[in-house]
Amino acid sequence: MADQKASLVGSVAVTVVEVLANGNLMVRGEKKLGLSEGTEVIQVAGVIRPQDVGPNGTVNSLRLANAQISYRGSGDL
């Protein structure tokens, strides 16, 4: 059995790519950071309910159904 734990704190802007029949929103976004030692890419995709969008337009990742969150880095990190 493999045990993996990871933590990622930050924000990623997403775009609504589809409005589902039940009114939920399929979203997708990417954030690229160019650093002097390399680059980092964070990708996020999933489904959110409109009522989970806060007044400032944010959604906690715990509210992201079918979440696909990936992090890649290159260079000396």
Is pTM beyond 0.85 here?
no
Predicted pLDDT of residue 76: 59
Q: Which two tokens stand for residue 66?
A: 């079918």
The dihedrals phi and psi of 60, each to the nearest 5 degrees, come to -70, 140
Triad 57, 21, 13: Cα angle to 5°: 25
One digit per residue, pLDDT tens: the chain, 77 residues?
667 676 777 788 999 999 999 999 999 999 998 877 888 899 999 999 999 999 999 998 899 999 998 988 876 54
Predicted pLDDT of residue 77: 47
